Amino acid sequence: MNDYPMLIDGARVAGEDGHFDVVNPATGEAFAQCTAGSLAQLDQAVQAAQRAFSLWRYSSHAERSECLRRIASDIEGEAEALARLIVAEQGKPLSLAMGEVMGGVAWTRYAAEQEIPVQVIEENASQRVELHYKPLGVVASITPWNWPFMIAIWHIMPALRAGNCVISKPSSLTPLSTIRLVEIIARHVPKGVINVITGERGFGSAISSHTGIHKIVFTGSTATGQRVMQAAAGNLKRLTLELGGNDAAIVLPGTSVEAVVEDIFQAAFLNMGQTCAALKRLYVHESQAAAFAEALAVIARRQVVGDGLQADVTFGPVQNIEQLELVAELVADACVNGGRVVCGGERLERPGYFFPPTIVTGVSDGHRLVDEEQFGPVLPVIAYRDVEDVLRRANDSDMALGGSVWGSDVVAAEALASRLESGVAWVNCHAQIHPHTPFGGSKMSGFGVEFGLEGLLEFTGQQLLYVRKHQAV
């Protein structure tokens, strides 16, 4: 069984707390072991990053950009091996895993070409005032299990581009592709600039409270994000928190089913529904709710569920047993309370954590399947009568990551989308993100943004440079 070490101060090191298994969700069996680091080793990684920062912070923008270009080329050269590793630990089909890796290449290349501006606030004969952006220091990246490679890219690349050093802590469920990514990065930066630590428990709170860490970028659940925020107060760490989402989509009356149903299905079941910004609540006018549910079910039934490495598979497993059990529990609760399963609805009788794409009708606000983030392959189709009422219902959630409105009247759809209480609002699409467009949530879905100039500047601190010019005598 392959063993995966950590990387601290440029060296591959074994953990001081033994090993833990990494399970393939398509089989339910361990296929690799990962080393379990100690809190003392976290301290070592932080100290290494601090030492490296004393020089890396003064590296030029051109030097950092060139490092990222070389990293992107190496990732692209190893794309298939990385994608297969993602499939083994996360479960998604190989084509989707390849998309994750190549998306990481694109994001890295975008970060490489980003400019960090110097803003001239005032310039006259007597004085010049400039706003500069400078690196923060040691940044900790804490990543989840759903997009383990891509989200690590999102965290690490802008941090490096801005001149910070990084401690990466991947999910213990999917650590392997992140370890490999860090090893690739380490080829091109001075030792200590990038480090990765792995373990099953205890690191999150230790990272959050560590006084040698100056910023945390965290993607994960709202509850964990709250604990990170509380623990980070000790040294007023900067935070970027991208937390849970229960994204609503509203289909306006008279919308063509055929025109939008495929896009709606893909937005809801992206990565088997295991995406923070996936479409999770579908509100359809009562005149079309049944037609939309059946059209979605037709697409769901033609999915080939199985091991992501098999050539014909389009739909992989749920990543872990706990999430599988939650999905099954929410569907069962819906059925007990009047919901109807149109397709799917039960765990498949086979090894691994397989749950087919499932469409449920007969549920509404107040049902757990609607009110809670299912984060899995289930979509409730919820009938509504009045547009103003459904807008209120869509907004009546503590979570506010994204939302969308669908309809043939784009002007009306845009007007309604602008009233969604969400960090991002889409019209006739959902979960569209790009490296140049800022992305972030509101309410209990977190704060701070990723991507674009705004996301890059989240990894910097401001310094105002005030220059009084010499006066001629």
Supply the residues annotated as catalytic: 242, 276
Identify the H or E element spanning 3: strand 2-4
Burial of 340 (0-12, 13-18, 19+ CB in 10 A): middle
> DSSP alpha helices (H): ranges in 211-349?
222-231, 257-269, 289-301, 321-336
Written as one string, the DSSP assignment of 26-77 is TTTEEEEEEE---HHHHHHHHHHHHHHHHHHTTS-HHHHHHHHHHHHHHHHH
Which token pair is 306?
A: 């199985």
Distance from C-alpha of 120 to C-alpha of 412, rounded to nearest angstrom = 41
Residue type, 455: G
Q: For helices 148-161 and 79-90, what crossing angle results, to 10°?
A: 130
Residue type, 120: V
Q: What is the dihedral of CA 219, 368, 247, 419, to 10 degrees?
A: -130
- DSSP type of residue 439: B
Locate the DSSP E strands across 271-428. Answer: 279-285, 340-343, 358-361, 378-384, 399-400, 402-406, 424-427
- DSSP type of residue 358: E
The residues facing 450 across adjacent strands are 439
SS3 7: strand
